[in-house]
Structure 1
Amino acid sequence: METPESDSVRDRLAIVRERVDAALRTAGRSPDDVTTIVVTKFHPASLVRELFHEGVRNVGESRHQEAELKVAELSDLDLTWHFVGQLQSKKARKVREYARVIHAVDRESLVASLGGAGNPVDVFLQVNLTDDPARGGVQPAEVGRLADRIESTPGLTLQGLMAVAPLDAEPRRSFALVRELSERLQREHPNAVNLSMGMSGDFEEAILEGATHLRIGTAITGNRPAIG
């Protein structure tokens, strides 16, 4: 289901909030069960400020250079910054300076780069639901091994699993697989109860399968601004 086009960020945000609430009611879940992260990559800091005045407190970015500038410009706002894209190990230390949550941890070298001194960082372990290694994430069979590594690394708190539904698959079936993986993970890591899954085109299906963190971009922000 697509969100109707609107020229107003306020209107789009209201529509998404209504849809989230409706999906939660269908699933028999509480509104407090879900955190909606508005992904603002390619959009100006002024849009983030507008979202803040509409009650948004969780913002997602996926490009370090862009995120770093926005964080500095918006330092007067009480925002929780989430890094939701693929992260290079060499940029990990800089990203953890401003991101309280990192959603796509998928290899031991990145875990090593993120760990250590400084403020604790919440991380999600990314699962690859395809056969394409370029998509990022570990294969389901490797979840336990990487989870153990995260849990044993100072400065990191394992929140749970993160996934992106493949374009050629039925989203709810993909999210159901992640939920099953999460249930297995919790046998060894009982605090890793969260699920970061669901984007603009499939967040309702994700909610029905237990998503706790939604990463929603264009359904709220509108299309990327033209460059040129």
Structure 2
Amino acid sequence: MTDIPYKLASVRSRIAAACKAAGRPESSVGLLAVSKTFGAAEVRQAQAAGQRAFGENYLQEALDKQAELTDLPLEWHFIGPVQSNKTRSLAERFDWVHGVERLKIAQRLSDQRPPGLPPLNICVQVNVSGEASKAGCTPAEALELCRAVATLPRLRLRGLMAIPAPAVDSATAAERQAPFRALRELFGELRRAGLELDTISAGMSDDLEDAIAEGSTLVRVGSSIFGSRPPKA
């Protein structure tokens, strides 16, 4: 018997506890199950346990999985790097795209979103830790980029996404939460500038509590639900 339902329940309990500690309603935080490198069977098991939203990093793997799961009412989020040659499939087959860091990509998604579908939900990725190896616009670039994305047809700008640098083992709670706090403060600045944002996509298996403490509204959890990832072929 699979343990995915039990792991899902454990993650939901962690979210509930983190919300309580932060003085937030549990309903203020959504759970995105990151199913990359796991198959359609595992997604089915998670869906049967009540999970609807799933995150994927690898386009072809995601498209193959989607083809096997057309009978299920799932919400698909793309959370990997977005390249120009991927935008048509993303625009046609996904509900959310989390990794937009350039206006060119947003424009392609807008142009290629089929008119019969609802607007594609967009999160702009911000490199809050300033890592050279990480994707994302800088915090200083976020307002201009978000304003431009918000004007594009067939898209709906929802908020910000970030993948902060992992905290060192000796970090204090304040140090662990600092990048999430910076993201929340930037989110507030953008809202005060007139942008209608409702989503902070931040926090994963190892740091969801810190993210929720600083305002995350959507945590992206993979290994705590599906287990250790198999090697990608």
- The normalised TM-score by structure 1 is 0.93
State the alpha-carbon separation in 2 of the partners of residues 186 and 97 from structure 1: 29
**1:96/1:114 contact within 8 Å kept:** yes
Residue 3 of structure 1 corresponds to none
- SS of the equivalent of 2:98 reads strand
Question: Which amino acid is the alignment partner of residue 176 of structure 1?
Answer: R
Any residues of structure 2 matched to 1:28-39 within 5 Å, and which? 28-39=23-34
2:214 is matched with which residue?
Answer: 209
Aligned residue in 1 for 2:79: 84
Cα–Cα, structure 1 residues 227 and 27, in superposed 2: closer, same or farther, change >3 Å?
closer
Which of 152, 175, 179 lines up with 1:174 in the alignment?
179
1:165, 1:171 within 8 Å by CA — same for their partners in 2?
no
Structure 2: distance between partners of 1:47 and 1:201: 21
Answer yes or no: is the 8 Å Cα contact 1:163–1:197 preserved in 2.
yes
CA drift of 1:227 comes to 6.2
For the residues of structure 2 that align with 1:79 and 1:121, how far apart are their CA atoms? 15
What is the aligned partner in structure 2 of residue 189 from structure 1? 194
Over the aligned positions, Cα root-mean-square deviation in angstroms equals 1.5
- The alignment status of 1:9 with 2:4, answered yes or no, reads yes
**In structure 2, C-alpha distance between the alignment counterparts of 1:63 and 1:133, rounded to whole Å:** 22
In the alignment, does 2:68 pair up with 1:73? yes
Identity %: 37
**Whole-Å Cα distance in 1 between the matches of residues 177 and 39 of structure 2?**
32
Structure 2 distance, partners of 1:227, 1:100, is 25
CA drift at 1:109? 1.4
Match of 2:139 in 1: 140
The amino acid that maps onto 2:103 is E
Unaligned runs of 5+ in 2: 169-174
1:24 and 1:165 map into 2 onto residues whose CA distance is: 20
> Which residue number in structure 1 is paired with residue 105 of structure 2?
110
TM-score normalised to structure 2 length: 0.91
| 2:54 partner SS | strand
Aligned to 1:154: 153
TM-aligned CA distance change 1:227 to 1:67, over 3 Å: closer
